[in-house]
Amino acid sequence: MGQNIMLFTSLIKSAFRVGALRVADHRGAVRLYGDGSPPRCTIRLTKASLEYKLAMNPGLRVPEAYMNGDLLIEDGTLYDFIELAAQNYSSVEAYPLLKIMRMIGLGSKKIRQYNPISVARNNVAHHYDLSEELYSLFLDHDRQYSCAYFNSPDEDLGTAQLNKKRHLASKLLLNKKNLNILDIGSGWGGLGIYLASISSGNITGVTLSTEQHKISNERVSAAGLNKRVKFLLQDYRELPSKFERIVSVGMFEHVGKKNYREYFSKVRDLLTDDGVAVIHSIGRLDTPSAINPFIRNYIFPGADIPALSEIMPFVEQSGLICTDIEILRLHYAETLRHWREAFEKQRHKIATIYDERFCRMWELYLTICEMGFRYENLMVFQIQITKTLDTVPLTRDYMFDWERNQMEREKLNSNEKPV
């Protein structure tokens, strides 16, 4: 047991150099780590076995211990603890034992996901087919479950999510009538309905979530858009049609490295020769690395966070042309902050839908992800893709001009609506 304690102590001492972490073991002995600056936090380990488990695989075992009630936070909050860990992330990554574990394949960045349609459907159901009420309690009114776009830090979440939809639309070049538009991974239908409301396009959305499919089509009927908007419970790989515009938001993270070639080849096949596609996904600013093991095991099975260096070779090999890339920094950190705060306000209701363990698991999920975008080189990219060099204008001015004009149109329409 002494060696286990020494192993855990060595990891904590090596990793926590900024902030102040007090650790109370199962016997009540307390040790202090860090330089004493904020954030400050005290955790208590309730079992002797944790002192070995946490040291061997902290990225997975620490969240599990909190989720199961074996790691208690007695001073400060979960946010303080995760922020403290995130600020010391580089020191944890440099710990010799963890380097050895990665070398022998534990947490390897070379994980290659097997992702046939049946597996993809099960992975989607694990997260997106949860209680309908759950998502209504912490998302905005349009149920946008991806990175918002903040024109200013003080914008509310609903405004920022509308900004995101408008920003994406500006890159789709909606300059023709009756465009056939495909939304891959269409969520609860908000983006597709928005595109239909601002254009004459015909929208097809595909999702593998039965809950999202049901709600999306209910919303279409309520909006009176049945003739132009349809949502299918179908994998994008099964679609036979061609589309002049393709948009995909928050879906590419679920494709998996092994399947990038298949994904971009299918996008090429689905896109008309004069078509435009826009892919919006979480990515890494630094070199390729494995996704957080807790997130992969408990929240998004089969998920992957790519670096652009992993994606672009497959875009090039598919015969597609990358015409624009934009990196969104910190927008997702702010989005997650809004979700986390809303979740906390509704926690008592969510606990009645599920249980205390579920609430702790989702608090971890939202907090870990927020810290990833604040401190650990996560970002969101938007890639615009075409088949020919002259499909889009020579400069990006058309995006900015359209977006500003559309914002003015929306303000005008909003002012004209009766109160």
Give the residue numbers annotated as catalytic, written as ranges. 369
C-alpha–C-alpha distance, residues 187 and 215, integer Å: 9
Q: Are 281 and 250 in contact (CB under 8 A)?
A: yes
C-alpha–C-alpha distance, residues 244 and 180, integer Å: 5
Structure tokens at 263: 């994904």
Beta bridge partners of 70: none
Helix (H) or strand (E) holding 407: helix 397-416
C-alpha–C-alpha distance, residues 201 and 382, integer Å: 21
Name the phi and psi angles at 111, rounded to 5.
-55, 130
Q: Are 296 and 274 in contact (CB under 8 A)?
A: no
CB contact set of 242 (below 8 Å; sequence gap of 6+): 180, 270, 271, 272, 275
Q: Are 21 and 84 in contact (CB under 8 A)?
A: yes
Structure tokens at 7: 């192993």
With both helix axes pointing from N to C terminus, report the angle between 210-223 and 117-128 in degrees, rounded to the nearest 10. 70
Number of Cβ within a 10 Å radius of residue 259: 20
